[in-house]
């Protein structure tokens, strides 16, 4: 959940104070790493699911404020646009049947949200990009009325010298668009996994998350269309990277490399290389790390280290795995989570600095190949050389993920049967959308009607008929 701020404008004095506090807190974080002060109690997991609100024609409906007011639930919060909301799952310990319990909890929350949406003549839908969204829908008039969003928009444009943001994506079709605001980001909706890691293993889990991102994404695509164009299997990836592009290092990326000794390297890179987008100064003590956490929150690495605090106040470390799309169903997303959690564990514990021998350049290439081509991607993997994504998953990585879940004490490898069937049938969410659109002669609204009907069934996407 993003943190709200009190203002939308910042003075030079604000920026200087923020810079000083950020440096102070980063130095404090280094001391905490060196003194081994971060919690070693790990393997807690939480989820964030970004969703769309659509009307009875399956076009976006800008009513999130009304829905949130009527629903009044602490785990459902606004997103950047008025036609998105975010569902959150309370953190749980990764053991036993935890994923089934999370599935049941989220399904119940989803039903409550949809009950309210129906009262407002709307529906909710989980999908990576909404096929019926129009470029003209992404305007400041449809931005959620929160200071952090207005300030983010203002600061991105300031850093760009007032120049519009340009999006160019070459896929099966080609898309070119420009905006004088950050609202293109609102077209990307994700399923984000938070993994609390024991302090001594956190950098290994980070490296493993990066190394595994390509093959995981290959099996999970659900965003093939934007503005009527057929683009990448996971169009969210290039769209988000270009939607908040400012001078300097990319704010949305795979990062600059693996962590060699600890995650402090990432936070020191934040301090050294990135301008403050939201230089809001707080009066909290340095130990709260408000400035470090706010600054890190507007650097959107696809695998993002986070500093948080346990209920007792002890600092802890989390990895936020941000690569996955929302949808198609809760059981699909729990299967995706099982793949990530099992594979991250297996790779993290395999030696080679937590990356399992996958070079960073290969991990990065794998990620973008998977985002563009899905299961058709050719990936580089140790001991295999270049290998098709589907073969790599079936022959190497699904067995590794099963072993990783067993090592964590998670008795739910059945979720990985869903991934296996999805890969064997080659029917990801993106693949189903392409086939379903062709069967409906290019009718995007008909596609969404069929998608929502099947999503309501709860069946995994590999079982959907087109």
Q: What confidence score (pLDDT) does residue 2 get?
A: 66
Neighbouring C-beta atoms of residue 275, cutoff 10 Å: 17
In the chain, which stretches have pLDDT less than 50?
none
H-helix segments, 120-219: 147-159, 202-218
Q: What does the domain layout of the chain look like in residue ranges?
A: 12-463
Distance of CA 72 to the CA centre of its chain: 24
Cα–Cα distance measured from residue 52 to residue 47, given in angstroms and rounded to the nearest whole number: 17
How high is the pLDDT of residue 297? 97
225: closest CA among 302, 300, 134?
Answer: 134
Residue of 238, 206, 209, 207 whose CA lies nearest to 221: 238
7 contacts 302 by C-beta, under 8 angstroms:
no
Q: Report cis status (omega within 30 of 0) of the bond before 175.
A: no
The structure's pTM equals: 0.97
Contact of 203 with 262, CB cutoff 8 Å: yes
Q: How far apart are CA 37 and CA 337, in angstroms?
A: 29
Cα atoms in the 13 Å half-sphere on the side-chain side of 359? 8
Calculate ∠ Cα 412-418-423, nearest 5°. Answer: 135
Dihedral of the alpha carbons of 116, 121, 124, 125, in degrees to the nearest 10: 160
Quote the CA–CA distance of 54 and 60 in Å, as a whole number: 4
Candidates 456, 229, 419; CA nearest to 335 is 419
Q: What pLDDT sits at residue 7?
A: 80
Closest CA to 83 of 151, 130, 147, 17: 130
Dihedral, CA of residue 346, residue 348, residue 354 and residue 355, to nearest 10: 50
Whole-number pLDDT of residue 303? 99
Q: Among 161, 51, 43, 36, which residue's Cα sits nearest to residue 116? A: 51
**Reduced to 3 states, what is the DSSP secondary structure of residue 256?**
coil
- Bridge partners of residue 85, in order along the sequence: 51, 78
CATH number given to 12-463: 3.30.590.20
What contacts 63, CB < 8 A, 6 or more positions away?
A: 53, 82, 83, 120, 122
- 3-state SS assignment for residue 464: coil
Which residue, among 255, 145, 211, has the nearest Cα to 343 in the 3D structure?
A: 211
Q: Let me know: does 347 contact 211? Beta carbons within 8 Å.
A: yes
**Token pair recorded at residue 205:** 């889990």
Instruction: Residue 233: count other Cβ atoms within 10 Å of its Cβ.
Output: 31
Q: Helices 398-408 and 414-425: crossing angle, nearest 10°? A: 170
């Amino acid at each position: 959940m993003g943190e709200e701020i009190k203002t939308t404008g910042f003075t030079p004095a604000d920026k200087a104070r923020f810079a000083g506090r950020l440096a102070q807190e980063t130095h404090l974080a280094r001391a905490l790493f060196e003194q081994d002060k971060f919690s070693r109690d790990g393997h807690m997991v939480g989820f964030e699911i970004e969703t769309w609100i659509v009307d009875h024609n399956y076009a976006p409906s800008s009513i999130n404020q009304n829905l949130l007011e009527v629903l009044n639930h602490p785990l459902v919060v606004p997103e950047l646009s008025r036609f998105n909301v975010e569902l959150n799952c309370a953190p749980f310990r990764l053991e036993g049947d935890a994923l089934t319990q999370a599935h049941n909890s989220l399904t119940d929350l989803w039903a409550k949200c949809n009950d309210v949406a129906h009262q407002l003549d709307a529906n909710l839908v989980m999908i990576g990009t909404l096929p019926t969204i129009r470029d003209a829908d992404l305007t400041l008039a449809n931005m959620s009325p929160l200071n952090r969003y207005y300030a983010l928009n203002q600061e991105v444009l300031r850093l760009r010298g007032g120049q519009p943001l340009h999006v160019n994506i070459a896929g099966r079709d080609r898309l070119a668009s420009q905006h004088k605001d950050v609202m293109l980001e609102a077209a990307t909706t994700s399923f984000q996994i938070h993994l609390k890691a024991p302090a001594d293993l956190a950098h290994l889990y980070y490296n493993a998350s990066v190394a595994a991102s390509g093959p995981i994404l290959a099996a999970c695509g659900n965003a093939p269309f934007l503005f009527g164009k057929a683009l990448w299997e996971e169009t969210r990836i290039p769209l988000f990277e270009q939607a908040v592009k400012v001078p300097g290092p990319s704010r949305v990326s795979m990062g600059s490399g693996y962590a060699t000794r600890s995650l402090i390297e990432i936070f020191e890179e934040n301090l050294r290389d990135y301008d403050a987008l939201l230089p809001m100064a707080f009066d909290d003590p340095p130990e709260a790390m408000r400035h470090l956490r706010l600054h890190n929150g507007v650097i959107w690495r696809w695998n993002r280290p986070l500093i948080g605090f346990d209920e007792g106040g002890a600092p802890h470390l989390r990895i936020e795995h941000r690569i996955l799309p929302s949808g198609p169903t809760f059981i699909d997303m729990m299967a995706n989570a099982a793949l990530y959690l099992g594979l991250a564990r297996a790779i993290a514990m395999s030696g080679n600095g937590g990356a399992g021998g996958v070079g960073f350049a290969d991990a990065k290439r794998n990620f973008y190949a998977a985002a563009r081509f899905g299961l058709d991607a050719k990936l580089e993997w140790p001991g295999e050389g270049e290998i098709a994504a589907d073969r790599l998953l079936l022959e190497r990585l699904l067995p590794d993920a099963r072993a990783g879940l067993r090592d964590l004490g998670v008795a739910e490898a059945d979720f990985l049967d869903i991934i296996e069937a999805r890969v064997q049938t080659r029917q990801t969410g993106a693949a189903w959308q392409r086939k379903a659109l062709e069967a409906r002669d290019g009718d995007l609204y008909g596609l969404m009607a069929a998608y929502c009907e099947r999503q309501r069934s709860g069946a995994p996407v590999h079982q959907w008929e087109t």
